[in-house]
């Protein structure tokens, strides 16, 4: 049994959630310590391994009411690949009707066509990693997309038919004034997202930003600010 001495999932009465980590990014952002690789040639074997893992839990008695594709950059997977993973999950697990199925989207990897494909494959909620609406901060964060890409992704997502759209923003950036941050918030709200997650930039060990902060090359904002 894969469960060992942990509470048996069939004894849990509440619906659970499935999280799928897609471990690929075109380029590593210097503040990020989530696992990812730029080697997209591993996609096929990763999906095979994921299917193997799903098979391993076949017969699980839990029911699920959320599925979340996080990363990494899930939008490096095609709609066909996402669809095949969802089909596999629906085949092996008890997935409730009206399950919320979320996918994280990097604005640098999601064109209008991809977004249409994702909604057709069953994704009903997306979370767009905007991070900032200002190119100078996106450059600072080492993001692969521009502010315009982020706006286009938000517009394309609405046009594709998504009615549950979240976005992520990061604040507390070097040289970011309160006014800059307020502008980002205003811009974000102008898209009327269903959800907005705001993260203060953190300096995770073993990242280039952590090192740069230790060396004094990056200065976080003043504590009062």
Q: Could you give the C-alpha distances from 171 to 87, 198, 200, 210, in angstroms and in order?
A: 38, 7, 5, 16
Q: Where are the alpha helices (DSSP H) in 57-92?
A: 79-92
CB 110 within 8 A of CB 103: no
Residue number, 71 or 193, with CB nearest to ligand SF4: 71
Residue number, 37 or 159, with CB nearest to ligand SF4: 37
User: Minimal distance in Å, beta carbon 20 to ligand SF4?
Assistant: 14
Residue number, 47 or 144, with CB nearest to ligand SF4: 144
Q: How many residues lie near ligand SF4 (CB under 6 A)?
A: 11
From residue 62 to residue 91, the character string flagging contacts with ligand SF4 as x (rule: CB under 6 A) and all else as - is: ---------xxx------------------
From residue 122 to residue 161, the character string flagging contacts with ligand SF4 as x (rule: CB under 6 A) and all else as - is: -------x--------------------------------
For the CA atoms of 184, 187, 192, 198, the dihedral, rounded to the nearest 10 degrees, stands at: -10
Burial class (CB in 10 A: 0-12, 13-18, 19+), 69: buried
Considering only 9, 16, 21, 28, the residue that binds ligand SF4 (CB under 6 A) is 28
CB 148 within 8 A of CB 138: no
CB 142 within 8 A of CB 30: yes
Residue 106, interface with ligand SF4 (CB under 6 A)?
Answer: yes
User: Minimal distance in Å, beta carbon 209 to ligand SF4?
Assistant: 11
DSSP bridge partners of 64: 16, 95
From residue 8 to residue 27, the character string flagging contacts with ligand SF4 as x (rule: CB under 6 A) and all else as - is: -----------------x--
Residue 193, interface with ligand SF4 (CB under 6 A)?
Answer: no
User: Minimal distance in Å, beta carbon 133 to ligand SF4?
Assistant: 17
DSSP bridge partners of 37: 24
User: Minimal distance in Å, beta carbon 36 to ligand SF4?
Assistant: 5
Residue 114, interface with ligand SF4 (CB under 6 A)?
Answer: no
Residue number, 95 or 154, with CB nearest to ligand SF4: 154
For 97-113, b where at least 16 C-beta lie within 10 A, e where not — what string?
eebebbbbbbbbbbeee
How much is the CA Rg of the chain, to the nearest whole Å?
19
Q: Which residues bind ligand SF4 (CB under 6 A)?
A: 25, 28-29, 32, 34, 36, 71-73, 106, 129
């Amino acid at each position: 049994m894969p469960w060992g001495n942990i509470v048996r999932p069939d004894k849990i009465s509440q619906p659970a959630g499935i999280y799928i980590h897609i471990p690929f990014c075109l380029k590593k952002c210097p503040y990020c310590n989530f696992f990812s690789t730029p080697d997209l040639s591993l996609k096929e074997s990763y999906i095979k391994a994921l299917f193997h893992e799903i098979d391993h839990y076949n017969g699980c008695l839990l029911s699920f009411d959320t599925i979340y594709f996080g990363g990494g950059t899930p939008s490096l997977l095609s709609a066909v690949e996402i669809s095949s993973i969802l089909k596999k999950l629906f085949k092996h697990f008890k997935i409730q009707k009206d399950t919320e199925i979320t996918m994280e989207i990097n604005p640098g990897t999601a064109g209008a066509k991809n977004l249409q494909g994702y909604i057709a494959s069953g994704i009903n909620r997306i979370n767009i990693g905007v991070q900032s609406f200002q190119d100078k901060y996106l450059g600072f964060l080492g993001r692969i997309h521009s502010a315009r890409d982020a706006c286009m992704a938000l517009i394309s997502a609405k046009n594709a038919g998504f009615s549950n759209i979240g976005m992520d923003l990061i604040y507390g950036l070097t040289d970011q004034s309160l006014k800059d941050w307020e502008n980002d918030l205003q811009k974000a709200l102008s898209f009327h997202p269903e959800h907005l997650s705001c993260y203060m930039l953190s300096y995770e060990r073993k990242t280039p930003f952590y090192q740069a902060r230790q060396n004094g090359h990056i200065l976080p904002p003043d504590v009062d600010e």
